[in-house]
Amino acid sequence: MSGTFTKSMARNIFFGGTVFFALLFIALTFDSMQTLPKRDNRANLTPAVAAGKKVWEVNNCIGCHTLLGEGAYFAPELGNVYKRRGPEFIKAWIQSQPTGTPGRRQMPNFHLTEQQLNDLVEFLKYTSEINTANWPPNIEG
Amino acid sequence: MQYSSQSVAKPYFIAAIGLFLGQILFGLIMGLQYVIGDFLFPAIPFNVARMVHTNLLIVWLLFGFMGAAYYMIPEEAETELYSPKLALLMFWVFLVAGAATILGYLLVPYATLAKFTGNDILETMGREFLEQPLLTKIGIVVVALVFLFNLTMTMLKGRKTSIGIVLMMGLWGLAVMFLFSFYNPHNLVLDKYFWWWVVHLWVEGVWELILGALLAFVLVKVTGVDREVIEKWLYVIITLTLVTGIIGTGHHYFWIGTPEYWQWWGSVFSALEPIPFFAMTVFAFNMVNRRRREHPNKAATLWALGTGVMSFLGAGVWGFLHTLAPVNYYTHGTQITAAHGHMAFYGAYAMVVITIISYAMPILRGRAANSEKAQVMEMWSFWLMTVAMVFITLFLTAAGILQVWLQRYSATPIPFMAAQDQLAIFYWLREGTGVMFLVGLLVYIASFFVGGETKSRAA
């Protein structure tokens, strides 16, 4: 860098640039918040969905699975599992864990009640109806 | 060391290295579970091992950052630390809270842990990287505030250098952005949107300020290049970081229910995110080439150069690889993401913490640099860990490409687990290079116990 470009110039560009792009980000966030109601399926955000989200969280499901592509990559994507498997399969699957098949990846049994299972399925149904710009590319997730 | 209160950094650095070892051991457990699915089941299910692996990473890096700040700020401000006692007290609070949290993960079912730590009062748990119980999260905030208070008071009474200011901005930013971890709405899209304000704006935002400050500090010390020059570079680099990185958050807003214009904003700005990392590499090599002294600590210089190169490869190149929306549509949430995550965290944050430890620890132990023998050993550990990480990344990338093809791209997509079965060879190779990484880390730890004639001053 040439001698005419001083440290204080660099510092001013840093503060100016950071403030400008932070404000732009906040503006985009504000606009996103206005657009979200059309995409995030909040109309179907029932108490059961909220309860299901809590079941999802307190059993650390994200520690193995992805949800809308975020999480761990050890077990299948569940953002669209409601569409892939349907409610009854999901409940039966969770209840039948672990499979105990030697050498296969094992999912713990979380001893969920019928109510918790239903709530979780409601949460997964709600999630599957979020407008994700056609992601994932196919039903396998 | 110039100021006796800098010595509080020592326990922070020791704890960081100890927790780093724990992180790697759990990484190896998970790596094995990828191919021997029922390994250690049900004692340590994968989700628990992963939580321990990622949380230990975060905690040891935080210990490293805090140790670095306690070492650097007195020297930069040219005054003793405001309160060394408070710094030591916070060390023990953080260590005990961290250990209790990890033990909680390992010994108690997560749902039980949530129930007994106040998750019903404020639901914050069960989200990736933010799995900590409410009590731990509050503890992190308290420790961070006391830490920031201590350092800010130190700086206020002393010299305010650019390196010091940038470091403090990064650390304050870290604490402020963490507050979003307490916001967890029922609406999943909102939850994810602001979850990234912690995760992305940490690792691709304020943490990079810390990274830049640590690197600049070590380069000032080992090269003897004029501080004005190095600090000018530092400002240029962090400008590029935040100008690209803030809007770059948009690369996480492609497929989570957010407006589709983020595909443009996110792709364009995050495609520019490698530039600051490239600048950092050029910076590190440039300064070392223009050095005005031959500092006896060769190992620290090697780590500093390595940080530049590996953060550019891991965060820059491997980030760019899957950041454009049309590519990310296929790669989102696959082993490609895992490959990027591993090399980026190692190259940027693990390596910069080791850089400052490598520079500061000999001084904290009363010498300018370790003996030739100890340094050679440390440099061996550099190459073992770094080469291992390159191969871990390459194998995970290969697994990811195959996974994308089988599960997402081919004309006949196959289910997740069927695809995983076909990736086994790459997971085995990754586990092998993981063992190599562990060997490197053990060599690194052993290098602290090698004696020999230490170096007292710059040659």
pLDDT in tens, B57-75: 999 999 999 999 999 999 9
Task: Categorize the per-residue pLDDT at B457 as very low, low, confident or very high, splitting at 50, 70 and 90.
Answer: low
A50 touches chain B (CB under 8 A): yes
pLDDT digits 0-9 by tens, B409-455: 999 999 999 999 999 999 999 999 999 999 999 999 999 999 888 88
pLDDT in tens, A76-131: 999 999 999 999 999 999 999 999 999 999 999 999 999 999 999 999 999 999 99
Q: Is the dihedral of CA B250, A65, B56, B349 positive or negative?
A: negative
Cβ of residue B370 closer than 8 Å to a chain A Cβ: no
Which of B119, B235, B330 should we substitute to test contact with A (largest number of A Cβ atoms within 10 Å)? Answer: B235
* Partner residue facing A36 (CB), from B186, B189, B263: B189
Q: Tell me if A36 and B334 make a contact (CB, 8 A cut-off).
A: no
Alpha-carbon Rg for chain B in angstroms: 22
A4, A59, A105: best mutation site toward chain B, by most B Cβ within 10 Å? A105
Query: Average pLDDT in the B236-243 region?
Result: 97
pLDDT of residue B453: 85
Q: Per the CB < 8 Å rule, is B262 touching A32?
A: yes
- Closest in B236, B239, B415 to A140, CB measured: B415
Question: What was the ipTM of the complex prediction?
Answer: 0.97
Mean pLDDT (chain B) is 97
User: Which tokens sit at A30?
Assistant: 């504000």
Q: What is the pLDDT of residues B161-196, one digit of tens each?
A: 999 999 999 999 999 999 999 999 999 999 999 999
Closest CB to A7: pick one of B235, B242, B409: B235
Q: Residues 96-125, chain A: which have Cβ within 8 Å of B?
A: 98, 100-108, 110
Are A81 and A68 contacting, i.e. CB atoms less than 8 angstroms apart?
A: no
pLDDT at B87: 98
How many residue pairs from chains A and B have C-beta atoms closer than 8 A?
Answer: 223
Output the pTM of the full model.
0.97
Buried b (16+ CB within 10 A) or exposed e, A111-140: ebeeebbbbbbbbbbbbbbbbbbebbeeeb
**Closest approach of B20 to chain A, Cα-based (Å):** 20
Length, in residues, of chain A: 141
Q: In Å, how far is A112's CA from the nearest CA of chain B?
A: 11
Residue B459 confidence (pLDDT) = 41
Query: Is the confidence at residue B52, as pLDDT, over 80?
Result: yes
CA angle A107, A126, A86 (to 5 degrees): 55
Length of chain B: 459
Give me the pLDDT at residue B261, please. 98
Render pLDDT for B72-96 as a digit per residue (tens, 0 to 9). 999 999 999 999 999 999 999 999 9
Q: Which residue of A has its CA nearest to B331?
A: A69
Condensed to tens digits (0 to 9), the pLDDT of residues B126-145 reads 999 999 999 999 999 999 99
Decide if B126 and A42 are in contact by the 8 Å CB cutoff: no
Q: Give the Cα-Cα-Cα angle A6, A10, A16 (nearest 5 degrees).
A: 140
Q: Is the dihedral of CA B312, B297, B231, B196 positive or negative?
A: positive
- Nearest residue to B201 (alpha-carbon basis) of B235, B249, B161, B160: B249
On the question of pLDDT at B377 being above 70, the answer is yes
Question: For residue range B380-403, what is the model confidence (pLDDT) as tens digits?
Answer: 999 999 999 999 999 999 999 999
d(CA B161, CA B164): 5
Residue of B29, B33, B44, B47 to mutate, interface with A, max A Cβ within 10 Å: B47
**Contact assignment for A104 to B128 by CB distance below 8 Å:** no
pLDDT value, residue B373: 96
Output the CA torsion sign for B435, B436, B441, B446.
positive
